[in-house]
Structure 1
């Protein structure tokens, strides 16, 4: 089931033709067993219990949780809930597709380019990329700011999500599968925008895909290599990489993904029916929008970049990451900055984001009490499964039950 919040937080729409599949073996073969790895100090048992309960309720076979308090890594745990012996233990360092948690990484790359004087955030993308403008002259008013804050003019509830129309684009352009970024841009550019740029906010995976192409054009290198060299390596992160589409292409230590759905392969013209997470979408095309692999400890370490100025992001760049868009605050008192949802609380800006694609649900938050956490799962909410959106409220409740925090720091164990 695709909930309204999933849409706002980055869930991919289902492909046009999907069919219900049998439940994965982890949910079929009897009573699954829970095993855990890593460290969860006794003081943080409420958080550990949230994850254990959450994955049992949803029959999620692989999960992770990492928590920092005032910059220290205090919890890092992998969870395995299955009786399928082919699924290995989940380590705190296992890799997951993180879906739209990739967006704050892409936004940081653009902010870094601006910080280094290589681009201006008010620059129209038509001056940076070779975009067809015959579809709508308003495209010339789409700036980097507007792309990062989802006010560029694309609304996937109207024109559909171009990142998930591989077969349609292949047929209309007369090009073979798999299609690439350039074919997506050609297809989208021939169509009108859904609204005037800057007039409202609508979540756009396509806009973030374009930002990835800007990073490449301005930096003169691949999107992945720029992010690794300029952002991740200085933060001490070496595991993160872009994911691939097929299970046979999985990275070392990457978890398997499960979905109730099958769909038609988009990586070739075979027309084969495949599990939705494996060939039902083109993972390389998702790169800047939702293509990264990471562990939960990687993500909370990355989130520290937004806590204080450094050689990675200056104070100006951090303030830009959380700046209010020109349309202002929404009815919930929050707004979309640059790859983060943002809400002002007394003395702090709380920031968070979720990610969702077939076989993946992720959530990361930076909170006012000095806590940052990331939780990763190898399934997402689908028809008949329990609500996934309860995770953040349960974590918040658990945080309120913690009376003392551990003083140990686990960074050296995983980095």
Structure 2
């Protein structure tokens, strides 16, 4: 398996929206690349930047007060938005995608929730909104928010060192003296992918030694993979770095990673159906879709469970939509993080201003894509008051696939469709 990754820019074009006969001023936003979990063969993103028009209407700050446990009974959208359905169907046909699940919020109301296609081709099972999908790198944002909650609780500082005497993980991992600068790595640097090594540019260790446990892999990496840069000076997208953050969360909370995230993030906002995925087809979770590889990929040949903190979560589109409205800095629903914590999370580093703590940044919009064999995902919090989630059960190596996934929403948005005024979260 070749573990190198193309570095590409995902562009977000804000398209024309009429508001009381006003056309928004044109603006171009380039998303910083958010590289993905391991491909088995090289993948090229040939998407081009596009210029469009739009506005940013959402200016809420959030209160950080939390809301307790919330339980919603969801139903799919009753009235089709033809512009969106057309874009989804075109995307599915172009890239041979069996199933797509879409959730869209406007003003923190869930205004569109729909499943398309089939979740299991051999059985002809129709996709439904309760289907769960592997999130791939859209898992990282849950790890980042959990760290921010620990920050607010005073249990961690972003400047805390991770390895070595007096550090969070001490000398739990590794059998040799730590290499140069490893004991300088901080929580902040892991969040921003600026730890100095172990990233896509130099073969992310997460996709080596597939039979090793998480602890064995971290020990092997510390023993055998020196850093390439002084921590804090270079951006290199690292799944392995977020694997380490998972262990940081475990150390501080005394809980397994998944349970800690449920306690800190999921349960308070009413998400009860998320779990860490299994590896094989036999390990498929209840209500989980079947994944389909393209270009010879096998979606069931990877250690998904070991990817927990960077790529292991399984969820519905509605789960992610709910997650977004509680961390989006808009005022309708109280955010589960303070405004200060959200600003910290959505701020880049000196090495890469376009990538914050688990989020790519484009002005006042924040997003992330994810990709694994059999999986392609995106979640986006937008400065215009919308959020969107798109989940699929395959990925394609045809040109512009990642860009086309992102553009499903924007092409529909450009047609100025009529969105529902009710809230599917409350039904």
Decide whether the 8 Å contact of 1:158 with 1:194 is kept in 2. no
Decide whether the 8 Å contact of 1:58 with 1:386 is kept in 2. no
Q: Residue 194 of structure 2 corresponds to which residue in structure 1?
A: 151
Q: Does 1:294 align with 2:315?
A: yes
Bigger RCO of structures 1 and 2 (CA < 8 A, at least 6 apart): 2
Decide whether the 8 Å contact of 2:205 with 2:240 is kept in 1. yes
Cα offset, 1:197, TM superposition? 0.7
Give the structure-2-normalised TM-score.
0.79
**Pairs aligned (count):** 360
Decide whether the 8 Å contact of 1:87 with 1:256 is kept in 2. no
Could you tell me which of 162, 168, 177 is aligned with 1:128? 168
Q: Equivalents in 1 of 2:399, 2:123: separation in Å?
A: 23
Cα offset, 1:91, TM superposition? 0.9
Q: Equivalents in 2 of 1:87, 1:209: separation in Å?
A: 36
Cα offset, 1:149, TM superposition? 0.6
Q: Equivalents in 2 of 1:375, 1:16: separation in Å?
A: 23
Cα offset, 1:40, TM superposition? 6.0
**1:333-392: CA deviation from partner (whole Å, max 9, x where unpaired):** xx1111110121xxxx1001000011100011111211000000111123x576332222
Q: Residue 345 of structure 2 corresponds to which residue in structure 1?
A: 321
Name whichever of 129-138 and 143-152 sits farther off.
Answer: 129-138
Q: Residue 7 of structure 2 corresponds to which residue in structure 1?
A: 4
Superposition pairs of residues 24-173 of structure 1, within 5 angstroms: 38-39=76-77, 41-42=79-80, 44-80=81-117, 84-126=121-163, 127-129=167-169, 130-132=172-174, 134-167=177-210
Change beyond 3 A, Cα 1:90–1:6: farther
Change beyond 3 A, Cα 1:202–1:181: same
Change beyond 3 A, Cα 1:157–1:312: closer
Cα offset, 1:2, TM superposition? 5.9
Superposition pairs of residues 319-398 of structure 1, within 5 angstroms: 319-329=343-353, 335-344=354-363, 349-382=364-397, 384=398, 387-398=401-412
Decide whether the 8 Å contact of 1:240 with 1:293 is kept in 2. yes
Cα offset, 1:239, TM superposition? 0.8
Give the RMSD, CA atoms, in angstroms: 2.4
Any gaps of 5 or more consecutive residues in structure 2?
11-32, 43-74
Q: Residue 184 of structure 1 corresponds to which residue in structure 2?
A: 217
Any gaps of 5 or more consecutive residues in structure 1?
18-36, 168-177, 263-274, 330-334
Q: Residue 240 of structure 2 corresponds to which residue in structure 1?
A: 206
Q: Secondary structure at the match of 1:342?
A: strand
**1:207-231: CA deviation from partner (whole Å, max 9, x where unpaired):** 0000000000000011111111221
Q: Does 1:196 align with 2:218?
A: no
Q: Secondary structure at the match of 1:54?
A: helix
Q: Residue 256 of structure 2 corresponds to which residue in structure 1?
A: 222
Moved over 6 A (4+): none
Q: Does 1:277 align with 2:315?
A: no
Change beyond 3 A, Cα 1:235–1:82: closer
Q: Secondary structure at the match of 2:8?
A: helix
Q: Residue 14 of structure 1 corresponds to which residue in structure 2?
A: 39
Q: Residue 268 of structure 1 corresponds to which residue in structure 2?
A: none
Cα offset, 1:122, TM superposition? 0.5
Q: Equivalents in 1 of 2:344, 2:400: separation in Å?
A: 37
